[in-house]
Structure 1
Amino acid sequence: MAESKTDKEHPLANILINVIIPVLILSYLSKDPALQEKLGKVARPWHIGPLKAMFLALAMPLGYGIWHYVKTRKGNFFSALGLISVLLSGGLTVYLWNKDGTVKPNAGLFFGIKEALIPLVLGVAILTSHRTASPLIRVFLYNDNIFDIPKIENRVAEVSGQSEYDRLLLGATQLFATSFFLSSLMNLGLAQWFFRGFNATAVDALEKYNSIIASVTGWGLLVIGVPMVVFLFFTLRKLLKGLETLTGFKDDELMLPR
């Protein structure tokens, strides 16, 4: 039993490897070296172009997903999410970029929709998974890397509190999903803000497009990431308070020792 606990991956590490790092690769490595030279700018060694950057970004969630499957014989949710995110981001970039250095019209709107789509799908998936055998709230937040779930559920059975326990988890699921819906709206708004005044037919449109994507990615971690962390903390505190009332356990008894 102890071995299986040790083998479990942390959800944040999963998100970092499968989602965040691939997005950063797409944002900062996608510049076209030929275009950089055409614009009189220095082509850095890490400027490998959109196609190569997309394949490199795809390699991370794909490789991690294969490794995870070989190890556990189970699919990895975050690897699938990372693959979808990279395909959307990289595929959109390849579609929008023109060889003459211009960008297709409405690039900002397309990119904003793409940015909003992933958290929107996640929010819907979290809500709809609540009634399944594998609720996503147990992947992101209420999992046995953080909580002593067997002890909690044994106490719930002792006090005949299953219905209240189910309502508590449903409330936490709804709150957690709301944070992703909020993120979706903020992603769309942030993209539109940075793309305001963007000229898709300018000679340096590709350069500006890539710069805007990097800005959206960088500022998104702050403007969207901080509120989501606050929302996550609020959800966690509300869940802990409800579990404490239901079970009589204190925080340090509900959570595993770190």
Structure 2
Amino acid sequence: MNSTSTHKPRPMVDLIVSIAIPSFILMKLSGENDLGATGGLIAALAFPLGWGIFELIKYRKFNFIALLGLLSVLLTGGIGLFELDNKWLAIKEAAIPAVIGVAVLVSTFTPYPLVRALLFNPDVMDVEKIKQRLAEHNSTGAFEKRLLKATYLVVCSFAFSAAMNYILAKWLVTSPAGTPEFNEQLGQLTLYSYPMIALPSMLMMLGVFYYLWRTIRDLTGLRLEEVMAAKK
């Protein structure tokens, strides 16, 4: 059986491996009597880095977001191991969602808009049925305008994430890189970023999904069960 077709999201595993375990190591095992500042940082970063590489190799799927996540881990490790100024950590934290937001915005001027690929694709919705119904109702132009508005809403969600990442990093991480205190604060940053940034961003994205569904319902008259793609 092809592993690429059987891969299912495992949010609890992702949270444990990428957030819970690294945060525990950074906050509790980075003291001089444990792993030390450098050893604790390497051990903590090894979990999300190893998990990300494992996912990419096993399922052999190019995932732009996953690659940015791996790049983020490597940059964090570089900042800690080379004991760079803390400002670079805040810049890095803001840069990742900012890059995604800019990519989403720029893609609207290309033949392959990312929002269309993410939200309006045959794996999620019955695209052909929706297009046919839009044409019957002479609503294709109105739908395209609202899809563009959905794109701007997605960009706003990434802008919010970038700003919050920067603020949280500047607020929490104040100790010099390469110290146990830096590791502990980095663990707090990792831990707090989920409820303070990831969850609100997720709710914003769900709001965009709801907006798009309401748009399709209003313009086509299709119910939710008629819009969703049939399971293969």
Q: TM-score, normalised by structure 2?
A: 0.79
| 1:61 corresponding residue in structure 2 | 52
Contact 1:30 1:51 in 2 (8 A): no
Q: How does 1:86-235 map to 2 (within 5 A)?
A: 86-96=73-83, 104=84, 106-107=85-86, 109-195=87-173, 198-200=174-176, 206-235=179-208
How far apart are 1:199 and its partner, in Å? 4.4
2:62 corresponds to: 75
| % identical equivalent positions | 29
Give the gaps of 5 or more residues in structure 1. 97-103
Counterparts of 1:255 and 1:165, CA distance in 2 = 17
Code of the residue aligned with 1:234 in structure 2: it is G
Secondary structure of 1:224's counterpart equals helix
Residues in 2 aligned to 1:184 and 1:213: alpha-carbon distance in whole angstroms: 17
> For each residue in 1:87-146, what CA deviation from the matched residue of structure 2 results, as whole angstroms up to 9, or x when unmatched?
2222222122xxxxxxx5x42x22111111111111111112234344322454444443
1:215-243 per-residue CA deviation (whole Å, 9 max, x = no partner) reads 11111111112321331232122211211
Q: TM-score, normalised by structure 1?
A: 0.72
Asked whether the equivalents of residues 29 and 48 of structure 1 are also in contact (C-alpha less than 8 Å), the reply is no
- Count of paired positions: 229
Which of structures 1 and 2 has the larger relative contact order (alpha carbons within 8 angstroms, sep 6+)? 2
Query: Which amino acid in structure 1 is aligned with residue 41 of structure 2?
Result: P
Residues 125, 227 of structure 2: 8 Å contact kept: yes
Supply the distance in 2 between the matched residues of 1:59 and 1:27 (Cα, whole angstroms). 16
Q: 1:84 is matched with which residue?
A: 71
Cα RMSD (Å): 3.6
Q: 1:239 to 1:32 in 2, by over 3 A?
A: closer
